[in-house]
Each structure stands twice: as C-alpha cells, then as structure tokens.
Amino acid sequence: MQAFPHGTTATPTAVVVPPSLALPVIESAFSRQLHPYWPQLQEKTRLWLLEKRLMPADKVQEYADGLCYTDLMAGYYTGATDEVLQAVADYSAWFFVWDDRHDRDIVHGRAGDWRRLRYRLHAALDAPRHHLHHPDPLVAGFADSVLRLYGFLPRTWNQRFGRHFHTVIEAYDREFRNRTEGYIPGVEEYLALRRHTFAHWIWTDLLELSAGCELPDVVRKHPAYRRAALLSQEFAAWYNDLCSLPKEIAGDEVHNLGISLITYEGLTLEEAVSEVRHRVEECISEFLKAEREALQFADEITDGTVHGKELGAAVRDCVGSMRNWFSSVYWFHHESGRYMVDSWDDRSTPPYVNNEAAGEK
C-alpha cells in the first residue's frame, strides 16, 4: 500500500483545491492511501464497462480513467484482496452509471422508463443469476456485479446487503418524484433520505468484504462502531453537497442540504455554504472521537480467543477503511471529471453520459 500526495494519473500534478472547499485537517491528518492493485483495477474496470456495454467505447476511452471511479475505491478499501476490490470497483462504477441514468430520466421526464428500471433492479437484486443477460445493460451489469459481491461472505451478509439496496432503490424513486414535482424536502427529511441515496449502509456493508469477515450484529450495532461508520458516510454525503451546491442551485435542483437550509431556514447562499461546511468539519472532529472509541472496542473484543483475535482485527480493518474514506472522497471531488462542470461544453449534460443507451434521441 502506498501513500500519494497528489493525483493518481500517469503524470501526477499537485491538485489545486479551491479555498472555499479546502479542508486542511484532511490534507494533514488523513494520509492518502492507494491499494497496490490500483493500476490493474483501473484497466479491468474500464474493460468491464465496455464488456457490459455500460458506456460506449468512445466514452470509455475518453472519460473512464478521468472519472476516477477506481481511484475512489482503491483509496477506501485498502485492505481488500485484489478480487474483492475488483468486484467492489466494478459495482461502484455501475452505481455511478445508474445515477447518471436516473438523472437523465428525470431531466427528460421519462417516468415510465424509470419505473420499469426500478422494478427490474429490485428483481435483479433478488435473483441476479436470472438477469445476467437482460437486454438493458444497466440491469445485466447490476446482476453481474451483485452476483460477484454475493460470492465472498455467507448468505446472511448477502441478505443484509440486498435489504439495504432495496431501500436505496426506493430512495432513488423518492428523489425522482421530489425532483419531478419540484419538491424540496425539509432539512431532517433530506438528511434521512440522503443516507439512503448516498447508500451509507451499502458502503459500510462492503467494509466487511474488505476485511474478509462478516461482523455479528453485536459488533455492527455497537454504538462506537456504528457512530464511526455513520460519520464517515455523512462526511462524504455532505462534502458532496458542499461541492455541488452552486451548480445545483444554477440547475434548479431540489436535493442538496444547502438548498433545504436556504428554503426552510431562510439562509442566504453564503450562509448555507458556511453551515454545510461547518457540518462537514464537525463530522471530521466527531469521527476522530468515534474512531478512538471504536478502536478501544476492538481491543475489548480481542479477548485472547482465536475468534476474539480475528474479530478485533476485522473491526480495526473496517475502522481503518472508514478513515480512508475521508481522504479518498475529498481528493475524488477535486480530481474526477465528474465534478469539472466548468470544462463541459454543455453544463446541463455530462459529456461522459451515454445518451443513446439512456433512451435519448
């Protein structure tokens, strides 16, 4: 495993973070790690996107590496085996493509298309083997990635992952309706929904794949472990909102913590930015406390037995990955072409979106 202070491209250059988005504590206290498998990961995920027809060849060639999807995962699950990391990275790439399809269905008012996709994803989640050759590449790619994820841990983990992702699909449907109707959720309503649209518990479930161990309920639901996991995900979701707020206001968006604060608490744009940033910074400081408690918990369950030793090691591995999430998410937002809106020819249409496959004419 290596640390890298700059970018992950072949010719790394220092990344310039705008002062309004800079978090010195992340840059100084959260060292950036990269799984040594990353070069092969990037290449194989690129090939997987092509094989599953999730992006056309020209889009993959021009944009896939610059979107940095594999960088995000290789900087997070640094303790995973190569095979696990590959499955997680392909799934993550699929997730971004799905998110783009969801957005395009909203923009173009394709309620029927979205409804059909929603039902098909629910079905593929329950029976991925039966959907591997579905005519919609998004459904077939999902089935392939889920089936691979289901191959590492016991059935109980698979069932939990499935329950969590069914909830994510329904949260995306709620967002579809909110955006279509122009409904801005209140602050608490938004925060609750965001935990599902950002898939907090999916990425937390995948920590166990990385550690190679299904954690029992008594560990996963322990306050110290659960709080550390939640804070790492809240940071990611809210930092994403902070980075996206100006462009989402310009695009008449309705799903952003800052927009909910402006609408329901009467804040100005500048005040909303300040408040979201404050929440992001608070997440970091609270995580540092929760991390210490979670590591202390790991020491407590390392009770001298073989099982206790394995469980304590798995918890420490998971908490270490939670820490990685902060730096990985932070740099991803400043390196990925997904967020370089000012460089797009059309700010309303991401250049890497597969319009034809998404049904656009």
Q: How far apart are CA 227 and CA 229, in angstroms?
A: 5
pLDDT at 16: 85
Query: Tokens 């289901």 map to which residue?
Result: 150
Residue 20 pLDDT > 50? yes
95 is catalytic: yes
What residues pair up with 34 in beta bridges, in sequence order?
Answer: 2
Indicate the SS3 state at residue 226. Answer: helix
- Is residue 345's pLDDT more than 70? yes
Taking residues 351-355, what's their average pLDDT?
75
- The pLDDT score that the predictor gives to residue 352 is 84
Question: 30 an active-site residue?
Answer: no
Strand 33-34 with 2-3, pairing = antiparallel
d(Cα 185, Cα 321) in Å, to the nearest integer?
Answer: 31
pLDDT at 348: 67
Q: Average pLDDT in the 110-124 region? A: 98
Whether 142 is catalytic is no
What is the reported pLDDT for 248? Answer: 80
50-54, 58-62, 180-184: which has the minimum mean pLDDT?
A: 58-62
Look at residue 11 and tell me whether its pLDDT is greater than 70. no
pLDDT over 90 (residue 134)? yes
- Partnered with residue 2 across adjacent β-strands are 34
Q: Does the structure show a pLDDT above 60 at 224?
A: yes
Kindly state the tokens that stand for 8.
């992950």
Q: Residue 186 pLDDT more than 90?
A: yes
Model confidence pTM above 0.75: yes
What CATH code is assigned to 38-152? 1.10.600.10
The catalytic residue among 142, 198, 235, 332 is 198
Q: Which residues make beta-bridge pairs with 3?
A: 33
pLDDT > 90: percent of the chain:
82
Is the CB of residue 56 less than 8 Å from the CB of residue 354? Answer: yes
3-state SS assignment for residue 2: strand
**In this predicted structure, what is the pLDDT of residue 9?**
47
**Looking at residue 3, what is its pLDDT?**
40
For residue 341, give the nearest of 236, 249, 234 by alpha carbon.
249
Cα separation, 75 vs 48, whole angstroms: 20
Domain ranges in the chain are: 38-152, 184-339
Instruction: Say what percent of the chain tops pLDDT 70.
Output: 93
Q: Which of 95, 165, 176, 332 is catalytic?
A: 95
Between 146 and 9, name the one with better pLDDT. Answer: 146
Task: Give the pLDDT score at 347.
Answer: 65
Catalytic residue from among 96, 118, 148, 160: 96
Task: Please give the mean pLDDT across all residues of the chain.
Answer: 92
pLDDT of residue 357: 44
What is the mean pLDDT of the segment spanning 288-306? 95
Q: Do 38-152 and 184-339 show the same overall fold?
A: yes
Of the residues 120, 179, 316, 338, which is catalytic? 338
What pLDDT does 13 receive?
A: 52
Over residues 297-322, the mean pLDDT reads 95
Q: What is the largest CA-CA distance in the chain?
A: 64
Q: What is the pLDDT of residue 361?
A: 38
Contact assessment for residue 157 and residue 213, using Cβ atoms and an 8 Å cutoff: no
Residue type for position 57: A
Known catalytic membership, residue 198:
yes
Q: Superfamily assignment of 184-339 in CATH?
A: Farnesyl Diphosphate Synthase (1.10.600.10)
